[in-house]
Amino acid sequence: MKNENGARGGQIGLIGIGVSPGIAIGPVFCLEKRDFKVRRYVVPATETKEEIRRFRRAVAASASQLRRLNRKLARKMGKDHTYILDAHLMLLRDRMLIDEVVGMIRREQANSEWALQRAIDSFKSAFSKLEDPYLRERASDVEDIGSRILRNLLGEGEERVSGVPPGVIVVARDLSPTDTAQMVRQQVLGFATDVGGKTSHTAIMARSLEIPATVGLETVTRVAETGDAMILDGTTGEVFLNPVEETVAKYRELRRRYQRYEVELLKLKDLPAETLDGYRVNLEANMELQEEVPSVLEHGAEGIGLYRTEFIYLNRADMPTEEEHFLICRRLAEAINPRPATIRTFDLGGDKFLSQVSMAKEMNPALGLRAIRFCLRESGIFKTQLAGILRASSYGRLRIMFPLISELTELRQAKEMLEEVKADLDRRGIPYDRKIQVGAMIETPSAALVADHLSDEVDFLSIGTNDLIQYALAIDRVNEHVAYLYRPFHPAVLRLIRNIVDVAHDRGIPVSMCGEMAGEPMYTLLLLGLGIDSLSMNALALPRVKKIVRASRLEDAREMAAAIEEFRTAYDIEEFVKKQMREKFPDDITEDGRQVCLI
Ligand code: PEP
Ligand code: MG
């Protein structure tokens, strides 16, 4: 925002959802600015011809960029996958759009940018009024193509995440997990987005990679400009643009305190996660990228409770071969040894990597052909991965876990395929761990309710609360507008968790939790009381949770789990647990949740 003198000025405070702790202070880099600030100016009649030529050059440049992208995509994925870009190219060839803009430049002596923006707005609004949902969605194609021509008119060229300079806070409307992973390698200080929720995969990535992040800011792309100064608090969700000196000094101090707290926590690294009365809980790490292994070990993980293998697909369009799966899992097994690593077979779909894999566009991807459903349909892809994991199992302690199981038939089909792969390896004379443990993730209410059936046929269960809460409460985990309804303390969620643990323990198998809830110290005592055997979380959270465990008594935990039965609303349970936790752990659970609050 500029003041009257044209200079940037005035501190602006925004509040979003803090999804990855830490404080970033640095310059803004706007990654994607769809709403370019387009100004109108009069083009003298003598110059309209040249203005029209300028517009046509931008259209031609956009078309050639699209053709280039299209060729690249066709080479990598085949002709069938170029339909979106084909649609954009068709829009560019559409005389209606071009004629409309040219007409406006001529009639109204308008500049190209302004005329284009007006034409795009009226096309968009016409599309969005259409009944057919497919055609309605084309409004976003019009917007995309409009942004591309505008960028070319403004001489901004193509936008690429890889163009992000180091040492900046990235501001974007949204980021895909792929963008996020790429940015790590470019050493960004933090990121702030308009949209997103706490358990979106982009947020999870940020936490794993230790990048402070705030999402759901709604208007940050509108108010921030490249080069602005920014302070971002990834714990509380606060963001300050062009902060005054006082704010900078306050946040520098907070950052110092935060870093000191981290150093203190790391001293717990090699101590056992054991309560004061001798109850031992297993603390493991979640990971997405191989690069995280050193951090996982540094934070004292007792193993990997969840390896999200779908991240192998980052930045690639083809499927990994059996050999690649083998090498990746073998490297992990060896690096973690003698600790175990739980390899989750790929969970493609939902908010993950729809573009890399040839998956159809779905109306409700979270309810679509995702995770185990996709794998059972694409058995070739699934078996290739299983073969790679099994081969690697001779090099360390690996476990296999299937995501998004919703009932026994799916579990049986997945296990059957695993047996077929084992038989094939036997035929090929390749060794593997014949006693490899197999587990099911409990992420749907249906699985939680038939956890007894599932427990009879697996070695362990792992509760994926990110999805379990999403599906139980009908709250889209990536939608910032309903983020306030995403409540782990909801009595229905807690009842489901209690049921899973009870029936699994009755059948003698352990229960792990690997959703984000497991890494939030606020829930630690309650989860101990509910009987969870193993908590798996992002590496940063491990010492925080361990600190709580080591200062707790199992007796108190059980009392808390029993006491919440009396409450009927998420609000009441939350207030009760928060109050107890603040009283018991005043150094760790502060009033505003700073220091320990991760989700
Ligand atoms: C979960 O749903 O809680 C989970 C751990 O899996 P993901 O977040 O990858 O969907
Ligand atoms: Mg999940």
Per-residue model confidence as pLDDT tens digits over 558-588: 999 999 999 999 999 999 999 999 999 988 8
Residue 81 pLDDT greater than 50, yes or no = no
Structure confidence at residue 358 (pLDDT): 53
Tens digits of per-residue pLDDT, 370-428? 899 999 999 999 999 999 999 999 999 999 999 999 999 999 999 999 999 999 999 99
Structure confidence at residue 62 (pLDDT): 82
Structure confidence at residue 357 (pLDDT): 52
As a whole number, mean pLDDT of residues 543-552 equals: 96
Residue 323 pLDDT greater than 90, yes or no = yes
**Span of 284-293, 524-533, 547-556 with lowest mean pLDDT:** 284-293
Question: What separation in Å is there between the alpha carbon of 465 and the centre of ligand 2?
Answer: 7
Structure confidence at residue 3 (pLDDT): 38
Ligand 1: residue of 200, 308, 348, 374 to mutate (most ligand atoms within 8 A of CB) is: 308
Structure confidence at residue 462 (pLDDT): 98
Percent of the chain scoring above 90 in pLDDT: 56
| Residue 515 Cβ contacting ligand 1 at under 6 Å | yes
Question: What separation in Å is there between the alpha carbon of 467 and the centre of ligand 1?
Answer: 6
Please give the backbone phi and psi of residue 250, each rounded to the nearest 5 degrees, phi first: -60, -45
Residue 188 pLDDT greater than 80, yes or no = yes
Residue 319 pLDDT greater than 90, yes or no = no
- Looking at per-residue confidence, does 150 or 245 come out higher? 245
Dist CA 518 CA 525 (whole Å)? 11
Q: How far is CA 161 from CA 164, 175, 220, in A?
A: 6, 10, 18
DSSP assigned state of 430? -
pTM value?
A: 0.72
Q: How far is CA 208 from CA 294, 295, 470, in A?
A: 12, 9, 21
Tens digits of per-residue pLDDT, 189-233? 999 999 888 777 778 878 877 889 999 998 998 899 888 999 999
Look over the chain and give the mean of its residue pLDDT values, rounded to a whole number. Answer: 86
Number of H helices, E strands in the chain: 22, 16
Task: Among the bound ligands, name the one nearest to the CA of residue 352.
Answer: 1
> Is the separation of the CB atoms in 473 and 493 below 8 Å?
yes
Question: What separation in Å is there between the alpha carbon of 186 and the centre of ligand 2?
Answer: 28
- Annotated catalytic residues are 201, 514
Question: What separation in Å is there between the alpha carbon of 447 and the centre of ligand 1?
Answer: 14
Which residue has a Cα nearest atom 1 of ligand 1? Answer: 464
As a whole number, mean pLDDT of residues 529-546 equals: 95
Please give the backbone phi and psi of residue 404, each rounded to the nearest 5 degrees, phi first: 55, 40
Atom of ligand 1 nearest to the CA of 464: 3
Atom of ligand 1 nearest to the CA of 308: 9
Atom of ligand 1 nearest to the CA of 515: 3
Task: Among the bound ligands, name the one nearest to the CA of residue 202.
Answer: 1
Ligand 1: residue of 466, 473, 476 to mutate (most ligand atoms within 8 A of CB) is: 466
Please, which pLDDT band fits residue 179 given cuts at 50, 70 and 90?
low
Please, which pLDDT band fits residue 166 given cuts at 50, 70 and 90?
confident
Cβ count within 10 A of residue 429: 6
Structure confidence at residue 161 (pLDDT): 61
* Burial track 357-386 (b if 16+ CB lie within 10 A, e otherwise): bebeeeeebbebbbbbbbbbebeebbbbbb
Angle between helices 554-563 and 521-530 (to 10 degrees): 90
Percent of the chain scoring above 70 in pLDDT: 85
Please, which pLDDT band fits residue 138 given cuts at 50, 70 and 90?
low
**Span of 176-180, 345-349, 363-367, 498-502 with lowest mean pLDDT:** 176-180
